[in-house]
Structure 1
Amino acid sequence: MKNRSFTVIIYKEEHMYIAECPEVGTVDQGETIEQAIAGVKEATKLYIEEFPLSEAPPKHIV
């Protein structure tokens, strides 16, 4: 399996950290940043297993 890099955006809402992967659309939360990141990594992995991504080069928005 080829390794790929994805963006993760982290923000805080009240007492939880939210982690979002905009390229795939996965989101998870945790009480700590580490928990939120671990959750979105797992969610993204499961999503890609179910819906494989194409090998097309990424589009750049300027």
Structure 2
Amino acid sequence: MNRYPLEIFWSSECQGFIAQAPDLPGCSASGATEAEAAAAAQQAVAAWVEAARAAGRAVPAPREVLPLHCYSGKFLVRVPRSLHARLARQAAAQGVSLNQYVAGVLARG
């Protein structure tokens, strides 16, 4: 099994799950379930690495993904005053704290 991290998400367009290996440009696979997409992606990663080596191209090392407990859940973001004011007003209008509002906005992407 390779050590390249995968990002797996649902695709409405494909009506299935897509698994991408972000360290390997263009390397992805799909499946009806997350497990199927992950298994197909493992095969795609192996094929990607083999093709790159055969072509004499460099193969990037897998990036390290830290476990969840290594993250505190806090980070500082500096924004323009006008954006801060707009976000604070929107949070107040929804009856939530600025932190809750911004977390929700970030979670929705």
Give TM class, smaller chain: 0.7 to 0.9
Which runs of no fewer than 5 residues in structure 2 stay unpaired? 54-58, 64-109
Q: CA deviation at 1:18?
A: 0.7
Mapping 1:1-62, distance limit 5 Å: 4-14=2-12, 15-25=15-25, 26-52=27-53, 53=59
Give the structure with the higher percent strand.
1
Aligned-pair identity (%): 19
The two structures, once aligned, show a CA RMSD in angstroms of 2.2
Give TM-score scaled by structure 2 length.
Answer: 0.44
Which structure: greater helix fraction? 2
Largest Rg, 1 or 2: 2
Hey, which bits of structure 1, 4+ residues long, moved more than 2 A? none
Q: RCO higher in 1 or 2 (8 Å CA, sep ≥ 6)?
A: 1
Aligned-partner Cα distance in 2 for 1:37–1:16: 12
Structure 1: state its 5+ residue gaps.
Answer: none
Instruction: Pick which of 30-39 and 10-19 moved more.
Output: 10-19
- Give aligned pairs, total: 55
1:30-60 per-residue CA deviation (whole Å, 9 max, x = no partner) reads 00111100111101101101113166xx6xx
